[in-house]
Amino acid sequence: MSFYISANQVPRSVPEPQELTPFLWNGPELSLQHRIFPSEHELGHLIMDSFEIANPSGTTLSYPILPYGGLLAVFLFKRELTRAELCGPTSLLKKLSLPPQSSAFCMRFHPGSMRYFSPLSACELAGQSQPLSQYLSSPDNLSSAMRRSESFHARNVFLVRTLCTAGAAHYRPFPLVGRSVRYISEHRGIVKVAQIASEMGCSERYINRMFQEHIGISAKLFCELIQLQFSLYLIVATKPKALMSTAECCGYFDQTHMNRSFRKFLDCTAGDMRAASNGFINLQGAASLI
Domain with 55 in it: what CATH number? 2.60.40
CB 225 within 8 A of CB 265: yes
pLDDT at residue 5 above 60? no
3-state secondary structure of 175: helix
Q: What is the mean pLDDT of residues 228-232?
A: 90
User: pLDDT digit string (tens) for 33-44?
Assistant: 999 999 899 999
Report which residue type is found at 250. Answer: C
The top-scoring range by mean pLDDT among 29-33, 63-67, 103-107 is 103-107
Name the average pLDDT for the chain: 85
CB 186 within 8 A of CB 1: no
Q: Is there a domain that residue 233 lies in? A: no
A 10 A CB-CB count for 153 gives 12
Q: Is there a domain that residue 71 lies in? A: yes
Please tell me the predicted confidence (pLDDT) of residue 276: 75
pLDDT band at 165 (very low <50, low <70, confident <90, very high): confident
The pTM of the full predicted model, rounded to 2 decimals, is 0.88
Please tell me the predicted confidence (pLDDT) of residue 148: 80
**Which residues constitute the domain of residue 133?**
31-170
pLDDT band at 280 (very low <50, low <70, confident <90, very high): low
Q: Is there a domain that residue 251 lies in? A: no
Q: What is the mean pLDDT of residues 193-222?
A: 95
Share of the chain above pLDDT 70, in %: 88
Instruction: Go through 19-47 and write b for each residue having 16 or more CB atoms within 10 A of its CB, e for each that does not.
Output: ebbbbbbbbeebebbbebbeeeeeeebbb
User: pLDDT digit string (tens) for 130-142?
Assistant: 998 888 766 456 7
pLDDT at residue 180 above 90? yes
3-state secondary structure of 48: strand
Q: Is there a domain that residue 272 lies in? A: no
3-state secondary structure of 202: coil
Please tell me the predicted confidence (pLDDT) of residue 235: 87
Q: Is there a domain that residue 18 lies in? A: no
Q: Is there a domain that residue 6 lies in? A: no
CB 53 within 8 A of CB 103: yes
Reduce the secondary structure of 250-278 to three states and give it as a string. Answer: CCCCCHHHHHHHHHHHHCCCHHHHHHHHH
Q: Is there a domain that residue 58 lies in? A: yes
How many distinct structural domains can be found in the chain? 1
Q: Is there a domain that residue 132 lies in? A: yes
- Give the least confident one: 129-138, 167-176, 186-195, 247-256: 129-138
Q: What is the mean pLDDT of residues 10-23?
A: 49
Nearest Cα residue to 223 out of 18, 20, 5, 46: 20
H-run or E-run covering 87: strand 81-87
